Amino acid sequence: MPIPFLSGWKTKIKQKIRKLSLNSVLYEINKINVAELSQEQAIEVLPRLEKLLRIIHHWWKYWPPEEIAEYKKMMVVVLIAALDTSLEVNAKSGQWQMCLALLTEMERVLQTHTESIEAFTLTRWKRYYPLAKLGKVTEAQDVLTECLQIYQAVGDPRGQARTLFALSELSYENHQLSQSIALTRQALPLLENIQEPRYAIHFHGNLRFYLTKAGEKEEAAKHTLAQLAYHLVIQSWPEVKGDLLNLTELVRRIYQTMPSYEIPGLQDLFSQPAFLDLQRLLQKTGGLAKLQSVIDEEVKSIMGR
């Protein structure tokens, strides 16, 4: 006959072991800083991650149902963390087919064990890059179009902007320059609801690049000016120098066919939806006149005018 207090003691010990196991594996996963890994280092890390995933899969398969139910929330967190880190490491290693397999499992876990449409859609969104790398551009575009519809339905401006950005890059890779320009322009008004300068800088930078390629130098200059303004506001000085060089090069090329061309002022940009976020930022900081003066002086000094 089991001794009650001894049985309870064993249960507590088992619970502590389960929690310790889960926390220990999560700690091992979080120790892997993918951003700092070279491609060679990422390849070396893969066996370690595969071992951790085998351990987690073993838990799901062999732990008693009542224990899985008790620790389910933590088990899902650990499994998703392992899958997500494995995804990043495999991407850095160029293992695109494995990336798709990991994303498929992540989608299954999220569908089965969570109700987060945001997490599921982001996971689905991540499929586009491995698909594109494998040459399945049409399938990648279909994935992004599906995600865009979801983000539009739930009113997620960040998700919409991110997806339009990815679609524009795919279009460029597919030699559809006009489509890249149209998609990026569609994304820019969404930035006002995101309110992150570094996010906006990437969008204006891509559009500047596409417009320059298309020969639309005057429009490209406007987006270079926007990049410059953002970088000055956040005091990102190395990028300021690059923006000034890009702007002056564009202006010199415009002068070849339009000698009377004048660089637009920041105030001139605000009539276009693409620059609403910049207008909001400058109204918030209250430094429009001072910023315009700085830009005028810097451009003048570089161009020697």
Distance in angstroms (rounded) separating the CA atoms of residues 102 and 97: 9
Nearest to 147, CA basis, from 171, 175, 126: 126
Q: Note down pLDDT in tens along the chain; length 305 residues.
A: 555 544 555 566 667 778 889 999 999 999 999 999 999 999 999 999 999 999 999 999 999 898 889 899 999 999 999 999 999 999 999 999 999 999 999 999 999 998 899 999 999 999 999 999 999 999 999 999 999 999 999 999 999 999 999 999 999 999 999 999 999 999 999 999 999 999 999 999 999 999 999 999 999 999 999 999 999 999 999 999 999 999 999 999 999 999 999 999 999 999 999 999 999 999 988 889 999 999 999 888 877 65
- Residue 305's pLDDT is what? 55
Instruction: Extract the tokens encoding 295.
Output: 């830009």
- Give me the phi and psi of 286, to 5 degrees please: 70, 25
What tokens were used for 64? Answer: 């008693």
244/249 Cα distance (integer angstroms): 8
Question: Measured between alpha carbons, how far is 225 from 264 in angstroms, rounded to an integer?
Answer: 9
pLDDT in the model for residue 16: 77
Q: How many CB atoms lie within 10 A of CB 283?
A: 11
Domain boundaries, the chain: 197-305
Cβ 183 vs Cβ 167: under 8 Å: yes
Dump pLDDT digits (tens) for 225-277. 999 999 999 999 999 999 999 999 999 999 999 999 999 999 999 999 999 99
Mutual orientation of helices 197-213 and 276-285 as an angle, nearest 10°?
140
- Which residue in this structure is represented by tokens 């990991």? 102
Angle CA(107)–CA(111)–CA(114) in degrees, nearest 5? 115
Q: How far is CA 118 from the centre of its chain?
A: 14
The reported pLDDT for the residue numbered 9 is: 52
In angstroms, the CA 72 to CA 211 distance is: 51
The whole model's pTM is what?
0.90
At residue 212, what is the residue type?
Answer: T
In this predicted structure, what is the pLDDT of residue 67? 86
The answer for residues whose C-beta is within 8 angstroms of residue 207's C-beta and 6 or more apart is 181, 184, 185, 188, 220, 223, 274
- Catalogue the long-range contacts made by 238-243 (C-beta closer than 8 Å, 24 or more residues apart): 239/201, 240/298
